[in-house]
Structure 1
Amino acid sequence: MTTTTDQTTTVIDADTLKAWFDRHDDVVVIDVRSAAEFESLHIRGSYNVPLQLLSEHTQDVAQRVGRRVVLVCHSGVRAEQARQRLHEVGMDSALVLDGGAPAFAAAGGDVVRGEQRWAMDRQVRMVAGTLVTTGLLAGELVSPKLRMVAGAVGAGLAFSAATNTCAMGAALARMPWNRGAQDPAAHEAIGQLPTLG
Structure 2
Amino acid sequence: MEFLQQNWHWATLAAVTGGWLLIDTVRAKADKTLLSAVEATMLINREDAVVIDVREQAEFAQGHIPNARHIPFSELESRKNELEKLRGLPLILCCASGARSGNAIATLKKAGFEKLFNLRGGIFEWEKAGQPLSRGSKNKDKEKGKKK
Q: More helix by proportion, 1 or 2?
A: 2
The 5 A counterparts of 1:1-197 are: 3-5=29-31, 9-24=32-47, 26-58=48-80, 60-65=81-86, 66-114=88-136
- Report if aligned partners of 2:44, 2:50 keep a CA contact under 8 Å in 1: no
Aligned residue pair count: 109
The Cα RMSD (Å) is 1.9
Give structure 1 regions of 4+ aligned residues with deviation exceeding 3 angstroms. 2-5
What TM-score do the two structures reach when normalised by structure 1?
0.51
Per-residue CA shift, 1:59-87, capped at 9, x if unaligned?
Answer: x1441213211000000111011100000
Partner residue in 1 for 2:145: none
Structure 2 unmatched runs, 5+: 1-27, 138-148
What TM-score do the two structures reach when normalised by structure 2?
0.66
Q: Please give the alpha-carbon distance, in whole angstroms, between the structure 1 residues aligned to 2:29 and 2:132.
A: 23
Structure 1 unmatched runs, 5+: 115-180, 182-197
Q: Which amino acid aligns with 1:15?
A: V
Q: Which amino acid aligns with 2:84?
A: Q
